[in-house]
A and B are shown apart, each in its own frame.
Chain A
Amino acid sequence: MKNPYLPMLTKIEDIVIENEARDIKTFKLSFIKKEDKENFTFLPGQFAELSILGVGESPIGIASSPTEKDYLLFTVKRAGVVTTRLHRSEIGETIGIRGPLGNTYPLPDMDGKNVLIIGGGFAFTTLRSTVKYILEKKNREKYKNLTVIYGARTPGELIYKNELWEWEKLKELKTYITVDKANGDWQRHVGVVPAILKQVAPTADNTIALVCGPPIMIKYTLLALNELGFKPEQFFLSLEMRMKCGIGKCGRCNIGHKYVCKDGPVFSFAELQKLPPEY
């Protein structure tokens, strides 16, 4: 019997400080055992439990794409006990990982459709995985237009900056980067994500939208999507909840009868409308 509670061991290969506040870091991990690497197959949207033995575990979305074969990326905001300890880790340290856990963005159902990615702040991790996945040559032809709208409070709070500037140059996607408040020589969009979404006004026709961000952004983004003619079945959200086991046993991350760890973290808005608003 496979033990779902046993972490696989990885080594920290690289650490990137993502933001000006220096409380968001991206960890590049590689599996120590070859068989663990081979068994770890996932799709964008899934997460894993990162653990530091003696400290505990924390559920974190997988920020790398399955097409990035040799490593996994996890972007972690320093918030609680485990993430604070993670932030003190150095290259070469061992990190435990359990996963992949949860469901995925509905990538198979998005075949032949336009993809609209809407992200805010540090909640761009599994969306980055999705963009990277779609940009892979063999995947790109399956999807029509790819539009990315991503914003943060200030330019310094945007994550994956170098990659964003690369994406802006590509013809395979349209990238709209915005900040709530500009500073320095900021030349891109200024305004909250829902406002930019309305300006860009992507068509709802044959489009699937994936949304991830802070609650206030979500609230107004949903209104904007509604105005643009998106139906609740057409947009998907990735949710967060306090978790422990990650496999639907420990009983704490439920919204109604659904567990975010097992039935989620990705839900269509149509599904969420059927659940109590307790998240």
Chain B
Amino acid sequence: MKKELENYSILNKEDFNKFFNTLLGKYNIFGPSKSDKGDKLNKINSADDLMLDYKNFKMSAKEFFFPQCETLLAFDPSTGIVKNRSEDVDAKNDIIFGIRPCDALALSFFDRVFKDGAPQDPYYTEKRHRSTIISLACLEPEPTCFCNAVGCDVDSETGADIILTQLNSRYLIKSVTEKGIEILKHLKTLIPATEDDIKEKDELMAKAKSGLKSNVEVKALKKKLDDFDASFWQTVHQKCLGCGVCTYFCPTCHCFDMTDEVCNNTGRRIRTWDSCMFPLFTLHASGHNPRPSYKERMRQRILHKFNYAQENYNEIFCVGCGRCIINCPVNLDIRKVIQEILEAK
């Protein structure tokens, strides 16, 4: 076998159920399901419920690893005794099946924050260690997709352990990591891929890429964003209502709040998603707020993604999934914001 074909294998469509059911025997599988029309990651109990012709999840895959509301610790409110969060750990590990390459890339950014940066976040890291990511290359991007503009792509591999591409009558499977190779080992349903399969994939990907219409160019953006007091900040936020929807749907937004609650004589310290678009996010107890208006808060959101993440991680914390565009109640389009900034004098 040629070296470049080594990590590829083929799964015929008629063998898919068998392949999937073998994995189901060993792992808990989460993916897009027919029962909720591919809205979000769901537990999949049979190959028939899996929905592989979906476009993308409404919510990103981040909530699986970083739930919107998560218990950090429990305590007895009368004695103050802290109990480490008790969680029944399933004997089976998890497979995240069929998330789009943009969501997989976003997970790699989450890794940088929660897993690779000391100290490790134990809640995120534990879930991440027990899961394998099988992503699904995009054949038909949506009009709001702009992954190619931010360093992601229809077949981007970063963050995935395995990437699956739907060819005409079969699936092309590529192991990206050791974890991926390990899972596919000894699966009898897989047969070696040929150069023709790769060629077919390349053609499909080229066609998919041609469907990405965005022409924003983020390379030149950093320099513009280094000017903290640039005049464009006076205008780009004006449409924004500050509702924070963009940050909740964003697969890379990782900011959270920590609060205590006591209910039915059980206390919990929980973390919940929070948003830099809210004034309370940075309000000091003294009343001082370093980001008092929409202008500063919009600037923070854009700079965190397109400037600070580059300084800290050499990455742009945007994967071009377009969820912030789809869900914004006033049609604020981040592509246009970037364009406006680039064109500003």
Contacts and interface: CB of A to CB of B under 8 A. Distances in A.
Instruction: Tell me if chain B binds chain A.
Output: yes
Interface of A: 1-7, 9, 51, 53-58, 79-80, 83, 94, 96, 240-242, 244-245, 247-257, 276-279
Nearest to A84: B285
A252 B73 contact: no
Interface stretch (B95-103, B117-125, B207-215): B117-125
Main secondary structure of the interface of B (DSSP, over half): mixed
A203 to B, nearest CB: 34
A257 B300 CA distance: 10
A276 B260 contact: no
B255 A250 contact: yes
Contacts of B125: 1
B135 to A, nearest CB: 25
A55 to B, nearest CB: 6
Contact of B290 (A56, A94, A278): A278
A251 B282 contact: no
Contacts of A255: 290
Given A242-B284, A252-B255, A278-B291, A53 B276 contact: no
Interface in B11-54: none
Contacts of A5: 72-73, 122, 258, 269
Interface residues of B, number: 47
Contacts, number: 111
A54 B117 contact: no
Contact of B82 (A53, A80, A254): A53
Contacts of B333: none
A278 B299 CA distance: 11
Contacts of A245: 256, 258
Contacts of A244: 256-258, 274
Nearest to B73: A6
Residue among A3, A53, A57 having the largest count of chain B Cβ atoms under 10 Å? A53
Nearest to A263: B312
Given A244-B258, A248-B117, A279-B290, A3 B285 contact: no
Given A241-B290, A249-B114, A252-B282, A54 B255 contact: no
Interface in B248-302: 254-262, 267, 269, 271, 274, 276, 281-286, 290-291, 296, 300
Given A56-B259, A248-B117, A250-B257, 16 more contacts: A1-B122, A1-B125, A2-B119, A5-B73, A9-B82, A51-B260, A53-B80, A53-B82, A83-B285, A241-B290, A242-B282, A249-B114, A249-B254, A252-B255, A256-B228, A277-B228
Contacts of A254: 300, 304, 308
Given A1-B122, A248-B117, A250-B274, A53 B267 contact: yes
A249 B121 contact: yes
A257 B254 contact: no
B311 interface: yes
A231 to B, nearest CB: 23
B113 to A, nearest CB: 6
Q: Closest 4 interchain pairs by CB?
A: A251-B255, A80-B285, A79-B285, A257-B311
B75 interface: yes
Contacts of B283: 242
Given A9-B82, A56-B258, A56-B259, A251 B276 contact: yes
A253 B274 CA distance: 13
B216 to A, nearest CB: 22
Nearest to B307: A257
